[in-house]
Amino acid sequence: MNVSKWALITGATSGIGWATADALAAYGYNLLITGRRSSRLDALEGHLHAKYQHKIAIKKASFDISDRYQTSEFLKAHYAELDHLAVLVNNAGLAKGTEKMQEGSLEDWDAMIDTNIIGLLAMTRGVLPHMIKKKSGHIVNIGSVAGRWIYQGGGVYCATKFAVRALSEGLRMDLMGTNIRVTNIEPGMVNTEFSLVRLGDQKKADSVYANMNPLKPEDIAETIAWCVARPQHVNIQELVIYPTDQAHVGMVHREI
């Protein structure tokens, strides 16, 4: 077991986070997996131990990344693992609602801003001193095509993902000379719990991906693993990934 090769994944309880844990385990990373649903973290741990025959170490922590106190307590509790952290995947994120801004919910806006921006910042700020101390590390942020192109009813969500893109660029500049890499992955339509969380209705969520072939979480996870596996002198700054059936935000081919 390589104790010096740890990866921390936020939002690992489903979708891209779950798939990324699987992909990085295949590369031999020990994993620190986090999310709000402890039962799902237990399930992921069991899946990984069975698949990789206990060849990697797994630690898990259930907390709400949008809560700064809970995030701070997590960082304190796992200080030892963070000293060996090679990769941070800032995957935790969500969208809530599709209302126009003049009709939007302040609570929904808070949830998106606190998770997609503040949570990402708090986690990144917490791990960076460990990476800087050993002059190595890789921060992978999960952005979105919504961080480049805006659509009606998604203004605030898009703003949070625009922020992720700006933060990724700014972080890369601030870390110049530290040997730490920063990557922003910007997926289009991925069939996860994203639409269910956003719309709050399974039937409506299913209709988002009806009659088209969206990306799978594994597609994004494989891309993350590929970026992380590049030689140290190679930094994949950002990648926009659409499914073939999606030409642009709001432009989707559906079989009739």
Catalytic residues: 157
For the CA atoms of 26, 239, 214, 195, the dihedral, rounded to the nearest 10 degrees, stands at 90
Alpha helical stretches, state H, the chain: 15-26, 38-52, 68-77, 79-82, 106-113, 120-134, 155-174, 194-199, 202-208, 217-229
d(CA 197, CA 16): 14
Tokens of 79: 């200080």
d(CA 195, CA 125): 29
Cβ neighbours for 226, distance < 8 A, ≥ 6 positions apart: none
Compute φ and ψ for 139, nearest 5 degrees.
Answer: -100, 120
Cα separations in angstroms, 155 against 66, 102, 113, 166, 248: 20, 11, 12, 16, 16
d(CA 225, CA 222): 5
d(CA 129, CA 111): 27
